Chain A
């Protein structure tokens, strides 16, 4: 009986496992292998470290890593703070909060590509909405996507807009899980709204904040769709991000080997993120 159980378990798992191994685990190993055993699209080179040597010499890569870093710093805290604020608003007794919840959440379900087309218009230098509005105040406006100084920030603004509503949902769920008697007790003790927020709500939202944080960081590395529409990583790589750079190397420059090296780099970052999650976060999340 026990033996048939075990066989059945593996049979039930088989289809999912085969696909997971074929499209997650094997490719991960093959990426590492390819990064050491090929140059460009050639795979008959034997062991080489040229690709890794090139990492150091590749100025664009360092620029891309810098961009990815600023993109992370610029989008993650901002979206989390906006998401938290949204959740607090929608969870309070504001007028029209069901409409607001809908409005905040809408960007989440719309395809990045489609909405990027609309943002492309907002950002366009001559007739775009942002420059028109700035024009009313006598400002000349910016070349939002064409100016290397501004392009990455423009990308970040759109990213925050797209992400905040998604993270709001997690906060909303957490807020609804806080026991109302905690608030009643605090009110009896004479605590004001701000004290309640600082002493009760925010501490109880810590676990979900850490969860959102990890997801936001992961998304910051994963989200590049809008680059295809808005800047294509330009001007002059000013808004290029790691995953987009991988795509460029693999499918525009046909340098599969170097794309693999870059993927290894991205995988390393994700491993660090995972260690951070399991090492630091898991321990804290279970404090309740």
Chain B
């Protein structure tokens, strides 16, 4: 009985697993087959790379990809610096109003930047920054999530280490850099992976503030490329899709353990 129910569970689990990667499997199928066989699932159909060539020629994927990489890395680096400084101050310096400041920061966990697109667009426009990398990053640079995560981690660092460093003559910034940053490495990795996958995939805000391929990331590019009005067929859209997710997918497959672990840690703390 128990064996039977176990088998049943395994079958269900696998069925669900296959259903869950089906869209990805299909994208691979369609991308490597000519348009006529993309919808027929004939196993003997010839393979082709033609779709990738066409997709690559029809949309400026290279610019999109460069934009996405630059935007994602820019946001990550600025976030790491700002969140480290703020997280340290909140974790280790006592000052009047600390609780209030912390509460104000945490507000961003609820009122996420996506919700304020109308007003933030006005701000970016009045600064004359529409259609720049900077405009895509600005609302995300100060990440409440990152500050919170690093504050929690920094609070677990023994105070003695900081005191010892101070006696050695380290300044505040040196203490952060030499004591706190190395000890919080797992938190940085977790935050980095979450941030990268978030901003690689982000769509609504980049859609609002980018106008041309000078700053448009892959997601916005894909939305234009895949639109039915553009008249491309399934095979080519699939090829484009694979191009757009390739870098992230490779990164994910290489670091899958860290990815899963990072998402776990970041949720729990």
Q: Which residues of A contact B (CB under 8 A)?
A: 5-6, 8-10, 12-13, 15-20, 22-28, 30-31, 34, 82, 86, 89-90, 92, 94-97, 99-122, 127, 129, 132, 161, 164-166, 169-170, 172-174, 177, 211, 218, 221-222, 224-225, 228-229, 243, 246-247, 250-251, 256, 259-260, 263, 266-267, 270-271, 273-274
Q: From the candidates B94, B138, B139, B222, name the one contacting A111 in the complex (CB within 8 A).
A: B222
Given A16-B82, A114-B222, A247-B117: A96 and B14 within 8 A (CB)?
yes
The distance from the CB of B26 to the nearest CB of chain A, in whole angstroms, is 6
Whether A263 lies near B116 (C-beta < 8 A) is yes
Query: In the bound complex, what is the Cα–Cα distance between A111 and B14 (angstroms)?
Result: 24
Whether A114 lies near B245 (C-beta < 8 A) is yes
Q: From the candidates A25, A96, A118, A173, name the one contacting B104 in the complex (CB within 8 A).
A: A25
Given A27-B119, A28-B111, A103-B17: A12 and B222 within 8 A (CB)?
no
Task: Find chain A residues with CB under 8 A from B204 CB.
Answer: 224-225, 243, 247
Whether B111 lies near A13 (C-beta < 8 A) is no
Task: Find chain A residues with CB under 8 A from B85 CB.
Answer: 12-13, 15-16
Proximity string of chain B (190-207) to chain A, C-beta cutoff 8 Å, 1 when within and 0 when not: 000000010011011001
Given A109-B197, A243-B114: A5 and B93 within 8 A (CB)?
yes
The total of chain B residues at the interface (CB under 8 A) is: 87
Query: In the bound complex, what is the Cα–Cα distance between A130 and B201 (angstroms)?
Result: 26
Whether B20 lies near A13 (C-beta < 8 A) is no
The distance from the CB of B238 to the nearest CB of chain A, in whole angstroms, is 7
**Chain A interface mostly helix, strand, loop or mixed?**
helix
Whether B89 lies near A9 (C-beta < 8 A) is yes
Instruction: List 11 additional A-B contacts (Cβ < 8 Å) besides A15-B86, A22-B138.
Output: A100-B17, A103-B20, A104-B16, A108-B263, A109-B197, A112-B219, A113-B219, A114-B241, A165-B20, A228-B223, A274-B110
Whether A270 lies near B267 (C-beta < 8 A) is no
Whether a CB of chain A sits under 8 angstroms from the CB of B13 is: yes
Residue of A nearest to B257 (CB): A98
The distance from the CB of A92 to the nearest CB of chain B, in whole angstroms, is 8
Query: In the bound complex, what is the Cα–Cα distance between A105 and B213 (angstroms)?
Result: 31
Whether B113 lies near A24 (C-beta < 8 A) is yes
Whether a CB of chain A sits under 8 angstroms from the CB of B23 is: yes
Whether B21 lies near A106 (C-beta < 8 A) is yes
Task: Find chain A residues with CB under 8 A from B207 CB.
Answer: 228
A-B contact count (CB 8 A): 257
Q: From the candidates B13, B82, B264, name the one contacting A89 in the complex (CB within 8 A).
A: B13
The distance from the CB of B167 to the nearest CB of chain A, in whole angstroms, is 15
Task: Find chain A residues with CB under 8 A from B89 CB.
Answer: 8-10, 12-13
B:87-101 near A, CB below 8 Å: 88-90, 93-96, 98, 101
Whether A20 lies near B142 (C-beta < 8 A) is yes
Task: Find chain B residues with CB under 8 A from A228 CB.
Answer: 203, 207, 223
Task: Find chain B residues with CB under 8 A from A101 CB.
Answer: 260
Query: In the bound complex, what is the Cα–Cα distance between A28 and B21 (angstroms)?
Result: 39
Whether A118 lies near B111 (C-beta < 8 A) is no
Whether A17 lies near B86 (C-beta < 8 A) is yes
- The stretch of B43-51, B156-164, B181-189, B248-256 in contact with A is B248-256
Query: In the bound complex, what is the Cα–Cα distance between A30 and B111 (angstroms)?
Result: 14
The distance from the CB of B179 to the nearest CB of chain A, in whole angstroms, is 15
Query: In the bound complex, what is the Cα–Cα distance between A256 and B121 (angstroms)?
Result: 11
Whether a CB of chain A sits under 8 angstroms from the CB of B32 is: no
Query: In the bound complex, what is the Cα–Cα distance between A181 and B263 (angstroms)?
Result: 26
Q: From the candidates B10, B241, B263, name the one contacting A94 in the complex (CB within 8 A).
A: B10
Q: From the candidates A27, A89, A103, A267, name the one contacting B21 in the complex (CB within 8 A).
A: A103
Whether B119 lies near A117 (C-beta < 8 A) is no
Task: Find chain A residues with CB under 8 A from B252 CB.
Answer: 106, 109
Whether B264 lies near A170 (C-beta < 8 A) is yes
Whether A118 lies near B238 (C-beta < 8 A) is yes
Task: Find chain B residues with CB under 8 A from A218 CB.
Answer: 110, 112
Whether A121 lies near B82 (C-beta < 8 A) is no
Whether A20 lies near B117 (C-beta < 8 A) is no
Task: Find chain B residues with CB under 8 A from A30 CB.
Answer: 119, 122
The distance from the CB of A243 to the nearest CB of chain B, in whole angstroms, is 7
Query: In the bound complex, what is the Cα–Cα distance between A155 and B219 (angstroms)?
Result: 19
The distance from the CB of A284 to the nearest CB of chain B, in whole angstroms, is 17
Whether a CB of chain A sits under 8 angstroms from the CB of B18 is: yes
Whether a CB of chain A sits under 8 angstroms from the CB of B24 is: yes
19 contacts between A and B (CB under 8 A): A6-B96, A8-B93, A13-B89, A15-B85, A22-B138, A28-B116, A97-B13, A106-B24, A108-B263, A113-B222, A132-B39, A211-B267, A225-B204, A229-B227, A243-B114, A246-B117, A263-B115, A270-B110, A270-B115
Query: In the bound complex, what is the Cα–Cα distance between A256 and B208 (angstroms)?
Result: 14
Whether B111 lies near A172 (C-beta < 8 A) is no
Given A10-B95, A12-B89, A23-B116: A102 and B256 within 8 A (CB)?
yes
